[in-house]
Amino acid sequence: MSIGVVSACECAESTVQAGKDNAQVVFRGTVIALRPAAKRRVPGDTGKIAVFRVSRVWKGTVGEIFEMPADEATAVCWGFSPELVRGVELLVYARQLWGSDYASQSCRTKRVKFASKDFEELGPGEEPKPPPPLRQNSK
């Protein structure tokens, strides 16, 4: 019998501004679904996609619905450390890693109820971008 050793990410105290600077997208969203996805060979892969309904955006082009892998936080400090369940509302700091997939900064992403300092420093943010209009085929 062997026992695996799991190394947790050790978060150095980072500022809200440093978290924002290191992210490509920063948004407030509620998990509305966790759907199955093909397994990827990346740290913390759960085989699920988190689907968010976005209410505010501070950085990046983020629509009303945003999807990203529901990876668990690992020693590399990317992934979700708050438990991802339907209905949880998070302030998400993320960037593209491992190709085109986004990964959450595990040291900055947090439940909204613990993000008051972040909201004070980030300011009011913006509404998410509406989806582009469907193009009509012209004949």
- Fold type of domain 19-121: OB fold (Dihydrolipoamide Acetyltransferase, E2P) (2.40.50)
Phi, psi torsion values for 16, nearest 5 degrees: -60, -45
Domain boundaries, the chain: 19-121
What does the pLDDT look like over 10-53, one tens digit per residue? 666 678 999 999 999 999 999 999 999 888 877 788 889 999 99
- The pTM (predicted TM-score) of the whole model is 0.84
The residue-averaged pLDDT of 70-79 equals 80
* Distance separating alpha carbons of residues 79 and 86, to the nearest angstrom: 17
The single residue listed with the structure tokens 């020693």 is 75
3-class secondary-structure state, position 37: coil
Interacting residues of 18 by C-beta distance below 8 A, sequence separation 6+:
none
